[in-house]
Chains A and B, each alone.
Chain A
Amino acid sequence: MPVSRPIGLWTVSDTRWVGSQIRDDDAALVDALRLVIDSKRVLVSAFEKALYAKDASSLSPSEPGVVVLPVSSDEVQAVVRIANHFGRAITPRGSGTGLAGGAVPLDAPVVIVTSKMNRVLDVDVDERTAWVEPGVLNLDLSKAVAHHGLHYAPDPSSQQVCSIGGNVATNAGGPHCLAHGVTSAHTIAVEVVLPDGSLCVLGTDDPGYDLRGIFVGSEGTMGIVTKVCVRLMVNPPAIRTLLADFTSIRDASAAVSAVIASGTLPAALEMMDANCIKAVEPWAKAGLPLDADAVLLIEIEGVPEGIEPSVAEIRDRCLSSGARTVRVASTAEERALLWKARKSAFGAIANIKPDYYLHDAVVPRSRLVEVMENVIEIARRHDIIVLNVFHAGDGNLHPLLVFDGREPGVLDRVHQAGEEIVRACVAAGGTLSGEHGIGLEKKDLLPLVMTDAELAHQVLVRTVFDPNGRCNPTKVLPAGASCGELRRVPDGAWV
């Protein structure tokens, strides 16, 4: 287990640069890169590089060696080959909204940012597929195909700013993945530049092993995505959004199991607890009951002729599990407001405390009752405020520990509480991450859920793609999992 370390927050005083000037051996690298990429898209100044030094987690920043912003697969290929020539690691980066440190550039790598590759290349309306570049933003993709009556189903809360390439790298989820599956189920093919610089397309129906499937969620350790063929879904002809409110989080958790077992699988089934409601409602004004201990936000999709019986069934399940009221959004505006409240929950946290640490873990959904009680008890014991807003239908918890980093000793308590929560989830038969990934944050926790033999197979798969360990080498696997090739998490990182 990792030793306790302080959190490195994103403040000037905490920033420890490896070096803010171009290192001598970088000069030749930069020259080579500028031969293949417009020099305006090769960033070398300390100021520019600082913009790419961290992701959306509270992990310590680390200065990139050089940052490049390619605009084509050819340019990505050229950059990877140049990095190989100079023996430098590469770190792929999308929008930088990751929460596990996957894009944090340890050891001054060449950071390849895909945000300028942001075109929707081809939409096949008959087949409901689209080829897009990795920098296309998740919500922009749905907007681009909305006039065809189609949308892209995985919808992380960061969907306004996160990129499809980043979604592929983390196998991202979102509320609507309950019925439709996570990113992997919506990724038909990926064009990738492999760590050796070769370009290939990995498809869902290729003969042979499911290389596409193993690549999705590999957090930039197996190559760089340069195009993605996504599956689009037809917009449902009828949608009902229900808000069930409960005076006890225990009842709300029990209602989740009752709904799952009901014979009608909702498209989304989300929970917000009392602390979350109190933070969100004054700002979102979505009509969330401020005296509730928890609410469930439940969405049902279908054809108009069949949807009302499903609504009635789920309403009954909630009421018999102890819901005080079940409200059905009557207009599109009301529905949009409820989702706004859910998806902007994290932004409202600043009303309580300036800092937060967002966890991600999964448990069997039938164990939610005991796990939720555990989470609340752990936070109480460490005197930390916890907000719970999460994908209850998937058993995917997101306990949000809220604190003020200026309070003496609070970081140790946050760390301790966080680790206890993860252990409680594993003890309940769950696992470390449902959608954020492992990155740097949880790599040293992998032995909680994998034997040494299982870790060795994780290393094998990565080595097949990247025999020389050049692609995002310090991520996902714990230090020491592979003959000392992998480096430890730096001091100050939150693990």
Chain B
Amino acid sequence: MEHAALVERVASASVRRFAAEVGTDGPVRVVGARTQWDIGRRADGQRADVRDLHAPDGVVDVQPSELIVRVGAGTPVAELDVALAEVGLQCPLDPPSSAATVGGVLSVGHSGVRRLRHGHVRDTVLEALYVSADGVLRRAGAPVVKNVTGFDLPRLLVGSIGTLGLVGEVVLRCGPIPAQRGWWQAPGVDPWAVRNAVFRPSSILWDGTTAWVQLEGSEAEVHAEVRSLPGERWESCAAPTLPPGRSSVGPAMVKRLRTEDPSVAIGTTWWMAEIGTGVVHGANLARPAVAPPILELNRRMKDAFDRSGRLNPGVLPW
């Protein structure tokens, strides 16, 4: 059958070995660098007999003329960044810790702070080779930048924390590394005014008093954008330190922080908001409630893909 060749053709020996390790029974999970290990973890449902596996490690193939890269899920993001930079490319996964693995970042599904310009992290995944609860290796998506062939399984896998399938290898969309990239900060500036003043900022952060903006592009572009920033007190700076913790509170809540006491509105005084994405960084932030029909869909999805609950037991993404 010609179709069987597709997943067979792209699956390397290491991916096949990974599938064999997952096998068909017993609780199993994939360990990356454990930099975001507690996300989705529940006190109940932990299993002492769970097997820890590692996804294949290494950059398989960078294709500059295609602006894509095929990479093992166990590869550290730092290693991917170096391999891409060698040919003038980047893939802005921007994990909170540089030790994080590609698979770890994707399984958690949190975008980096450059989401404002580069989009959600799930939009970078073009193809995923994953092993399901039945031990079968499957391919979701294809190594092309546009694809509406069937339902969009790569997006379902991103953020699923290894509870629907265990991802061994992915093809990611990349882009050119800009000639210049940097951060600027200013006190007392309205961050929404910043957004309206510059064309395509990479990120705008705000802690209630100071605004930070990250810009990237050619030298001429970045200079022009810096000149158009509102106010006089902008200075070049290092990347700001994000408070630990993160929650998508939504743009409406971020706006409320202009006038409301953050310790009441979001329950913390040390916070930093991403303008334009509704993400706030800070400790112990409340998670948005999940509506009953959505909870039901999430449960049915988990049940459909992993009826016995062997994939990453004790972890649920909702």
Count residues of B near A (Cβ-Cβ below 8 Å): 76
Interface residues of B in 164-223 (CB under 8 A from A): 164, 175-176, 192, 195, 199-200, 217-218, 220-221, 223
Annotate B283-301 by CB proximity to A: 1 below 8 A, 0 otherwise: 0000110110111011011
Q: Is A476 an interface residue (CB 8 A)?
A: yes
A187 to chain B, nearest CB (A): 11
Contacts of B250 in A (CB 8 A): 205
- CB < 8 Å neighbour of B144 from A304, A306, A363: A363
Q: Is A337 an interface residue (CB 8 A)?
A: no
Q: Is A447 an interface residue (CB 8 A)?
A: yes
Q: Is A50 an interface residue (CB 8 A)?
A: no
A-B contact count (CB 8 A): 231
Interface residues of A in 333-369 (CB under 8 A from B): 362-366
Q: Is B6 an interface residue (CB 8 A)?
A: yes
Contacts of B134 in A (CB 8 A): 453
Contacts of A405 in B (CB 8 A): none
Contacts A126-B192, A208-B318, A303-B221 known; A173 to B136 CB distance under 8 Å?
A: no
Q: Is B257 an interface residue (CB 8 A)?
A: no
Contacts A209-B318, A305-B220 known; A461 to B156 CB distance under 8 Å?
A: yes
- Identify the interface centre among B7, B147, B149, B156: most chain A CB within 10 Å of its CB: B149
Interface residues of B in 242-281 (CB under 8 A from A): 248, 250-251, 255, 276, 278-279
Annotate A196-219 by CB proximity to B: 1 below 8 A, 0 otherwise: 001111101111111101101110
- CB < 8 Å neighbour of B148 from A204, A217, A237, A309: A217
Cα distance A356–B144 when bound, in Å?
26
Q: Is A375 an interface residue (CB 8 A)?
A: no
Cα distance A218–B150 when bound, in Å?
8
Cα distance A217–B156 when bound, in Å?
13
Contacts A181-B119, A364-B66 known; A449 to B145 CB distance under 8 Å?
A: no
* Contact of A448 with B2 in the complex, beta carbons under 8 Å: yes
Contacts of A285 in B (CB 8 A): none
Contacts A206-B290, A257-B65, A303-B199 known; A438 to B149 CB distance under 8 Å?
A: yes
- CB < 8 Å neighbour of A362 from B63, B67, B146: B146
Cα distance A20–B76 when bound, in Å?
63
Contacts of B104 in A (CB 8 A): none
Measured CB to CB, the nearest residue on chain B to A171 is B148
* Contact of B7 with A305 in the complex, beta carbons under 8 Å: no
B212 to chain A, nearest CB (A): 18
Contacts of A462 in B (CB 8 A): 151
* Contact of B294 with A200 in the complex, beta carbons under 8 Å: yes
- CB < 8 Å neighbour of A451 from B6, B67, B176, B295: B6
Q: Is A380 an interface residue (CB 8 A)?
A: no
Q: Is A124 an interface residue (CB 8 A)?
A: yes
Q: Is B310 an interface residue (CB 8 A)?
A: no
A379 to chain B, nearest CB (A): 22
Q: Is B93 an interface residue (CB 8 A)?
A: no
* Contact of A306 with B142 in the complex, beta carbons under 8 Å: no
* Contact of A453 with B290 in the complex, beta carbons under 8 Å: no
- CB < 8 Å neighbour of B217 from A306, A435, A477: A306
Cα distance A9–B238 when bound, in Å?
64
* Contact of A303 with B225 in the complex, beta carbons under 8 Å: yes
* Contact of B224 with A394 in the complex, beta carbons under 8 Å: no
Contacts A124-B251, A129-B251, A454-B138 known; A209 to B149 CB distance under 8 Å?
A: no
Cα distance A413–B67 when bound, in Å?
36
Contacts of A204 in B (CB 8 A): 120
Annotate A376-409 by CB proximity to B: 1 below 8 A, 0 otherwise: 0000000000000001001110000000000000
Contacts of A16 in B (CB 8 A): none
Contacts A194-B293, A460-B305 known; A450 to B156 CB distance under 8 Å?
A: no
Q: Is A264 an interface residue (CB 8 A)?
A: yes
- CB < 8 Å neighbour of B156 from A207, A214, A263, A306: A214
* Contact of B221 with A438 in the complex, beta carbons under 8 Å: no
A288 to chain B, nearest CB (A): 25
The 9 listed contacts between A and B (C-beta, < 8 Å) are A205-B288, A208-B294, A210-B109, A213-B156, A303-B225, A434-B146, A436-B148, A453-B136, A476-B150
Binding site for A on B (CB under 8 A): 1-4, 6-7, 63-67, 88, 109, 119-120, 122-123, 132, 134, 136, 138-140, 142-153, 155-156, 158-160, 164, 175-176, 192, 195, 199-200, 217-218, 220-221, 223-225, 248, 250-251, 255, 276, 278-279, 287-288, 290-291, 293-295, 297-298, 300-301, 304-305, 317-318
